[in-house]
Homo-oligomer: A and B are copies of this chain.
Amino acid sequence: MTLPSDLEIAREAAPEPVARIAERIGIGAELVEPYGDGVAKIRLGALDPAGPLGSRPRAKYVVVTAVTPTPLGEGKTTVTVGLGDGLNRIGRSTAVAIRQPSMGPVFGIKGGAAGGGYSQVVPMERLNLHLTGDIHAVGAANNLLAALLDNHLFRGNPLDIDTDTVSLRRALDINDRALRTIDTAVGPASEGEQRRTGFDITAASEVMALLALARSLPDLRERLGRIIVAEDRAGRPVTAEALGAAGAMAAVLREAAKPNLMQTLEHTPALVHTGPFGNIATGNSSVIADLIGLRAAEFLVTEAGFGADMGAERFFNIKCRVSGEAPDAAVVVATVRALKAHSGRYTVTAGRPLPDEMLKENPEDVRVGGANLLKQIENCRLHGVTPVVAVNAFPTDHASEIEAVRDLAAEAGVRSAVCTNVADGGEGARDLAAAVAEAAEEPSHYAPLYPLDASLKEKVETVARAVYGASGVSYSERAERQLRSCERNGLGTLPVCIAKTHLSLSSDPALRGAPTGWTLPVREVRPSAGAGFVYLICGSMQTMPGLGRTPAALGIDLDDQGRITGMY
């Protein structure tokens, strides 16, 4: 089977006017701001309980998660899109919610991130480049805060900030390793005092995490004020509010707070909004987009990053707690190749084709690696949510291997379906759609895994043991100190976001399947007081990617009709 390229497929699409897409889910013209070809923003009046959407019934809320992925990804976005299209095909009005891809990786390794094959969000060129500028706005708000902070230091430092404690970094939506660690103001004294800092990719900034978790514009404004940028010399947190920056930051983000509306190739409405990192942040699209989507269609399918131990865990324990919305079903995407990799017998590397050995028929490997699937199924059930397994079929899969995945699901008492939507569009996700519709009819017993009044350590311990399968948690001295400081500063009642590798249920990317008998090592603890969580760093987290030997940018150009080429 050879599919045309994503770009070729996307170009042949016949998108509907985006206002008609909105209308189909009850979002009238008064709530829609067209924003260039094929894209609109939805006004925040859509959140108003007294507004046109306020009295509508709430949609069924479906989160799409996955087994622990290989570095190639398991097609969670394509399944999200395919499921949306499939539900619409079986007559259930559905919208999907996805994150806005970062532009940095588009020019790095990925070349694009809008789904794939016949399960794409269009126009893909706009989704991959700027869209409506929200990510740039997030960067601008973050960098305005940084400039105001450095200006505060330059102007005599009236807040008595301890410059050694400055945690705020600058942000750009780019892959640029040279900016990871920089010294600023190394010129004449008129530039201020030299300081060591760096840039993160904008998706890794707290402002992005915060925008994704805000419930409304006033809530956004308050959260911005709570961002902690440093400590003063007495050890007290210094906030964006104290610097006087939060109001201007909110002004910078006013348009970015409105979700973007696009469509799939089959005209399913796609809410695209925010793109927080999946390790140090939630890896989920925005609360605002979901709150609107839940009042619009009959089903809202939303995607959570990485495996169920990562994005879905934060979905259950952070995002849903903020939104107050309970999910009705969780789709766990599994692939034959991922489960084979979880057998521990193969190595899969990003940017390289699968090893030949792995393409041979071997259902036994699937069963061995299936331990990971079973754990991720359990991770949904732990939060009271009914899982459905989606087997995302690849042309290289063997029938016996796909059957092995379905057998695992059946043994766990879970519905399953095979998806061929990348090749077949929504038609290839009809079975999944039917299974999800059924599962969502079961009563939801959703509940977060831990109470907020537990100590931060108790929260970490709970997630580590119950979700990751760890036998315990260890803390560096620094982490212990930082934990105490968080509790002292009144941040002990926040949920936790554990930043570990996404390539293993454990904190060691080399451990496949569902490893047990290991200890989670917490190296550092940092407050994201504005976003509303404390994050714990377990392992080394790269917050500014670099470019590879042959960046995708080198192959991207315009053709003689001004169309973008080389993006896939």
Measured CB to CB, the residues of A under 8 A from B are 33-37, 41, 44, 103, 107, 125-126, 129-130, 132-133, 136-137, 139-140, 143-144, 146-148, 150-151, 154-155, 170, 172-188, 190-192, 195-196, 198, 217-218, 221, 244-248, 250-252, 254-255, 546-547, 549, 551, 553-558, 560, 562, 564-567
Contacts and interface: CB of A to CB of B under 8 A. Distances in A.
Contact of A562 (B44, B133, B247, B565): B44
Contacts of A555: 247
The interface centre, meaning the residue of A126, A144, A221 with most chain B CB atoms within 10 A of its CB, is A144
Contact of A36 (B140, B170, B186, B255): B255
Contacts of A547: 147-148, 151
A178 B147 contact: yes
A137 B126 CA distance: 12
A156 B144 CA distance: 35
Contact of A567 (B151, B154, B251): B251
Contacts of A183: 182-183, 186
A178 B184 contact: yes
A167 to B, nearest CB: 16
29 contacts: A33-B36, A33-B37, A103-B140, A107-B147, A129-B252, A130-B133, A136-B139, A147-B174, A147-B175, A147-B176, A147-B547, A148-B554, A151-B546, A154-B178, A154-B546, A170-B179, A177-B192, A181-B191, A182-B186, A183-B186, A186-B196, A218-B558, A218-B562, A245-B553, A247-B556, A247-B565, A247-B566, A251-B557, A251-B564
Nearest to A553: B248
Contact of A177 (B178, B185, B546): B185
Contacts of A567: 251
A117 B180 CA distance: 45
B36 A176 contact: no
A152 to B, nearest CB: 9
A171 B528 CA distance: 28
A563 to B, nearest CB: 9
